[in-house]
Structure 1
């Protein structure tokens, strides 16, 4: 769109899109009736202007050449359900009842996820890492360990994360949220 076209009203942008479509697919518009599904009727907008500008007059002439039928978007959404039910009637032998079988099936228990916080640190005495799990029942599980080789803070955090993720397979954790203070590790994890 040109800078001037960006300043158009939303309905004028819709008219412009319709005109562009007509120019590119003119052979389809000539051969068929076109159903325009939209929240606003651009054809009505163009025709309702008492004085047409040069641009609107050109659009009006282009729109009048073709058979375009406007259908509001709300009507189409509701019509889909009606069309489906009309095309798929219930067999006569089916009985309808008001009872809902297996009402317990509709109950869903939402279990909060486990949370894992990890951190690693490098200092003069060595490399240490720690992980804390918080269960859905708010129980805390602490794990800390030392790494035997010298490394950077990021590598220590990677090691803390990797070692604890491997152990989560044994814990049968259905859902786990992971938190850490290293943006580098978090971005690479996601």
Structure 2
């Protein structure tokens, strides 16, 4: 009997149903990394079935652009409803739509605090009769998932080049001083540029190593797990890869410091590239050596002492050249491990903010009632401070519904954008 039913299903082709005017329809949605899909069905009585049977009305899908593929998952789900409304508008105009999903779309779309693209989609969906209910059974959800997964499987793997982060580094020694440049490229092609001004006298190889160490420290602080390092210095790359021996105590200390930090990554490779392929990092390194002003969207740091401590083979005494360094030394800096690097010393770095925090005038007024002498500027600060609040030492902006939104600096905002575009971390909507 079961075999006969299977034969009947195989022989008879499935036929799409034509909905009646005003007949309620269900919308099943699905989203993957690069594809969103939606399936529209109706539920009708069928002979031989105790419960109503879902019949397919139409299905649509869309391959996301690189920008849309970086949406958060719940944003992709909301966008799927908007996409289905745009492509199947005639069904949405004549019938009531019930969206069945595991995601709490009713709270997301009908949220009064919705801003940005979510708010735009909400406005577009307002004219239609759409209700959002939790999905109780799989049913036609299988078809929506199949369309999205099958479409994504058929796409060419054009984003494989960004499966890991890439870093270019270079050092420079000039008459004005030492400098280093670092360029960090995310999996999505976004770049972060750093200029390192080395404020003491040392060799060009040491500057190259300082650039390498600086980037590895920055990558670990950002939570990067897979990184490809590219540099035009054959000495540093070969020493780290074990192809060259590091006989000089200083170079051995730098190499061991790199190897120690390398253990924190899941995947890390060092590759030597031609100088022509490393021009961008070389420009930043020369900029740091000549103490030139850094361009916009480029971070600047100053290094006042070496990042490692080594032991001199001749005197047997510890060395962290040069001796005339005016920076204070910590007790931790006096510890020496022969031929190996200590942990990096955070006190050796001074981060230079390129732009002063925009919250300083507001904080000065809210906490100390200080205003600038310019009357126009003072009136602007007093008027704007009405929507800001200082709570437990943090600066917040009050939304129209009373939700406190934390204010951040421009530098912190850049770091958050890098993490978001890289697909790292969680949603930062409360920031």
Task: Please indicate, yes or no, whether the TM-score normalized by the shorter chain is above 0.5.
Answer: no
Shorter chain as denominator, the TM-score bin is 0.3 to 0.5
Greater helix share, 1 or 2?
1
Bigger relative contact order, structure 1 or 2 (CA pairs below 8 A, ≥6 apart): 1
